[in-house]
Amino acid sequence: MGRLLIKGFIGNFLNSTYRNIKVFFRYVGSLAILLFRTIFWMFIPPIRKRQILEQMNNIGVKSFPIVFLISTFTGIVLALQSAYQMQKFSAEMYIASLVALSVTRELGPVLTALVIAGRCGAAMTAELGTMKVTEQVEALETLSANPVQYLVVPRFLALIIMVPLLTICADFFGIMGGYLIGVGKLGISHGMYLKMTFDPLALKDIVTGLIKSFSFAVIICVIACFEGVHSAGGAEGVGRATTASVVRSFIMIIIADCFFTALFYFIMAK
Amino acid sequence: MEQGSDNLMIELKNVSKTFNGRLVLDGLDLSVKTGESLVIIGRSGCGKSVTLKHIIGILRPDCGEVRVDGKDITKLNVKELNKMRMNFGMLFQGAALFDSLSVLKNVGFQLFEYSEMTLDEIKRRVAECLSRVGLKGIEDAKPSELSGGMKKRVGLARAICMFPKIILFDEPTTGLDPIMGDVINDLIRHLHDTLKMTSVTVTHDMKSAYKIADRIAMLYDKKIIAVGTPEEIENSDNPIVKQFVTGAAEGPINSTED
């Protein structure tokens, strides 16, 4: 009897796991299809310069203040927290290297992506979702415009340009934040701080960070647009799609981050 | 070649469509003659809008043919379909104006996108279309600043902007007050007569149907059950049609049904 129960339990567990995995891969497959369609339509004229610039302004310029704030404070906190330990070994000057490396390799790209997913990804889903439920997406089709080309491509281009650029800014301001604490509070000299920042920092650290941020931009765009144009059921549906967009973007960004970090670790280790 | 088929602008043959396992259209046949105004009536949610979306190719049938001007549009690729849609205008239930664009950009959407016209020429054409629907001087307004009736009229102006051969109306009078509803009905009839377009209207408003239609088709239980002139439909012996046009709660149509 007990055996049967356990068997049933394991069977149910495996069954639901199998179903969830299937749902997950179906979702990723749909995202991949949208991505391929976006890339296809990207090369078909007309290029909508005005819309791309508008999106770049929305995503890049308007997100700059919050990226500035978050990266500067992260730099400050990172320096302070590491000072807490490093002071025990009188190794404060290594704080500069620690801040520089962790910001460029990890925190800059990830924090920027999370901020953009929350700020712009959610807005995109809400906008496209509202367009979908008020039949504007279908209206586009009846006016011979392809919704992917008209709605997704400008957002895609704006994101893959602006997210890496914002990441460079975040790298810079993160290091600045560390500098403020290192030089202002811990008494490291200006020259020493800069030397300890740039000596260990190789181009590959920045480049791997940018590769990550590029892939995060793709993830944000595809998930936000997919959730938007597949939302249904009025205002409630748009709300649900927006939540799903942010949550799924966050999850995929973290998974992708883990994947790329491991990949670069093994490639660089060789 | 079927007899008289050269005279048909739109032809739906044996069209079936399922959504999430629910059959919405089941072997629907419908034909619209060139230059006529056909009205499809039926209860809410019976598949009228779905039929309309099949005609313009937004939805593809699970099986069956949709012929427009002799071409089966279910077999066209995206590019051919987009080209074919240049012959269409469509007015949506909620007008579906683009919130982010001004009235000028909305009405002149296709002109901005596909024509070589200069801004002045586009402005002139948009003003002409707006005046046809009785509006003036609102080119710079955003859709959110317009009333329901104005939105519908701007939607109508957008639909006729390219002087399409075929125009589709999805519930043109829904959500409007009776007077504005009648204004829209008159406008649709007037545009149909002056621009010599083939039009298909979907509605459950019988007053609107009588006013607009050359012929009326009734959609019930996933099929077209009756087609005829407004008089024929009004005096139909079919109990279902009779119940619908008189708007009686009692009859063969189950009022609790979806």
pLDDT digit string, tens, across residues A146-189: 899 999 999 999 999 999 999 999 999 999 999 999 888 888 88
Q: What does the longest C-alpha to C-alpha distance in chain B come to?
A: 59
- Residue carrying the six token digits 């009905």: B185
Q: What is the pLDDT of residue A46?
A: 80
Query: What is the distance between the alpha carbons of residues B53 and B30, in angstroms, rounded to a whole number?
Result: 14
Query: What are the Cα distances from residue B215, in Å, to A58, B202, B212?
Result: 50, 12, 9
Phi and psi, residue A113, nearest 5°? -60, -40
Q: Is residue A132 part of a domain?
A: yes
A chain contacts of residue B98, beta-carbon cutoff 8 Å? 131, 136, 139-140
pLDDT at residue A7, rounded to an integer: 81
Give the residue from chain B lying closest to A54, CA to CA: B100
Nearest to B109 among A131, A141, A143 (CB): A143
**Of residues A166, A135, A60, A91, the one with CA closest to residue B95:** A135
Query: What's the pLDDT score for residue A212?
Result: 93
d(CA A197, CA A100): 6
> Is A131 part of the contact surface with chain B (CB cutoff 8 Å)?
yes
Residue A29 domain flag: no
User: Are residues B164 and B88 in contact, defined by beta-carbon separation less than 8 angstroms?
Assistant: yes
pLDDT of residue B2: 42
Collect all residues of chain B within an 8 Å Cβ-Cβ radius of residue A130.
99
- Nearest by CB to A139, from B86, B96, B113: name it: B96
The position carrying tokens 């909305």 is: B106
- Considering its fold, how many domains does chain A have in total? 1
Q: What is the pLDDT of residue A269?
A: 67
In angstroms, the CA A133 to CA A127 distance is 10
Examine residue A42 and state whether it is found in any structural domain, yes or no.
Answer: no
What is the pLDDT, as a whole number, of residue A270?
57
% of chain A exceeding 70 in pLDDT: 99
B151 Cβ contact list (under 8 Å, min separation 6): B94, B95, B97, B143
- Region of residue B200 (left: phi > 0; alpha: psi -120 to 50; beta: else): beta
pLDDT, residue A127, reads 93
- The one-letter code for the residue type at B211 is K
Nearest to B113 among A130, A141, A145 (CB): A145
Which residue is closest to A138 within chain B, CA to CA?
A: B58
The Cα-based distances of A139 to A14, A29, A81, B169 in angstroms read 44, 27, 54, 12
Predicted confidence (pLDDT) per residue in A32-72, tens digit = 999 999 999 989 888 888 889 999 999 989 999 999 999 99
Asked whether residue A234 is assigned to any structural domain, the reply reads: yes
Whole-number Å distance between alpha carbons of B96 and B87: 19
In B80-109, the residues whose Cβ lies within 8 Å of chain A are 82-83, 85-86, 88-90, 92-94, 96-99, 109
Q: Which residue of B has its CA nearest to A134?
A: B96
Alpha-helix residue ranges (DSSP H) falling in chain A: 2-42, 49-56, 64-86, 94-102, 108-116, 122-133, 136-142, 147, 153-184, 190-198, 203-229, 234-269
Supply the pLDDT for residue A44.
85
Residue A39 within any structural domain of the chain? no
* B58 inside 8 A of chain A by CB: yes
Q: Does B54 touch chain A (CB under 8 A)?
A: no
- Sign for the CA dihedral angle at A153, A156, A159, A165 comes to negative
Indicate the DSSP class of residue B56. T
Q: Alpha-carbon distance A93 to B164, whole Å?
A: 74
Amino acid identity for residue B234 in this structure:
E
Q: Do B58 and A138 touch (CB under 8 A)?
A: yes
A119 falls in which pLDDT band (50, 70, 90)? very high
In-domain check, residue A258: yes
B56:A142 CB<8 A: yes
User: How far apart (Å, rounded) are the C-alpha atoms in residues A47 and A54?
Assistant: 13
Per-residue pLDDT averaged across A217-229, rounded? 94
Is A261 a member of any domain? yes
Angle at A213 between CA A212 and CA A217, to 5 degrees: 120
B58, B93, B97 ranked by CB distance to A142: nearest: B58
- When mean pLDDT is compared across A71-80, A246-255, B7-16, the lowest value belongs to B7-16
pLDDT surpasses 90 at B79: no
- Count of pairs with CB atoms under 8 A, one residue in A, one in B: 50
Percent of chain A clearing pLDDT 90 (strictly above): 60
Phi, psi of B23 (to 5 degrees): -75, 125
Give pLDDT tens digits for B146-187: 888 888 889 988 988 888 888 999 988 887 888 888 888 888
Spell out which residues of chain B touch residue A147, defining contact as CB-CB under 8 Å.
none
pTM here is: 0.85
pLDDT-above-70 percentage for chain B: 96
Q: Mean pLDDT lowest for which of A112-116, A253-257, B28-32? A: B28-32
The H or E element that residue B10 is part of is strand B8-19
- Gap between the Cα atoms of A83 and A87, Å rounded: 6
Give the span between the Cα atoms of B97 and B90, in whole angstroms. Answer: 11
Question: Do B10 and B166 touch, CB atoms closer than 8 A?
Answer: yes
Provide the token pair at A261.
């970090």
Range of the domain at A212: 48-269
Please give the Cα distance from A156 to A55 (Å, whole number).
Answer: 9
Among residues A102, A112, A123, A7, the alpha carbon closest in space to that of A55 is found at A123
Find the closest chain A residue to B83 by CA distance.
A144
Task: Kindly tell me the sign of the dihedral angle through the C-alpha atoms of B188, B31, A136, A147.
Answer: negative
Q: Which of A149, A155, A153 is nearest to A122 (CA)?
A: A155
Distance CA B36, CA B165 (A): 11
Lowest-pLDDT range, A25-34, B4-13, B22-31?
B4-13
For the stretch A120-149, what's the b/e string if a residue is b when 16 or more beta carbons lie within 10 angstroms of its beta carbon?
bbbbbbbbbbbbbbbbbbbbbbbbbbbbbb
**Inter-chain residue contact B96 with A135, CB threshold 8 Å:** yes
pLDDT exceeds 90 at position A124? yes
Cα–Cα distance between B162 and B89 in angstroms, integer? 8
| Per-residue pLDDT tens over the stretch B80-135 | 888 888 888 899 888 889 988 899 999 989 888 888 888 898 998 899 888 888 88
In a domain, A41, yes or no: no
- Residues of chain B in contact with residue A142, where contact means CB-CB under 8 angstroms, are 56, 58, 85, 88-90
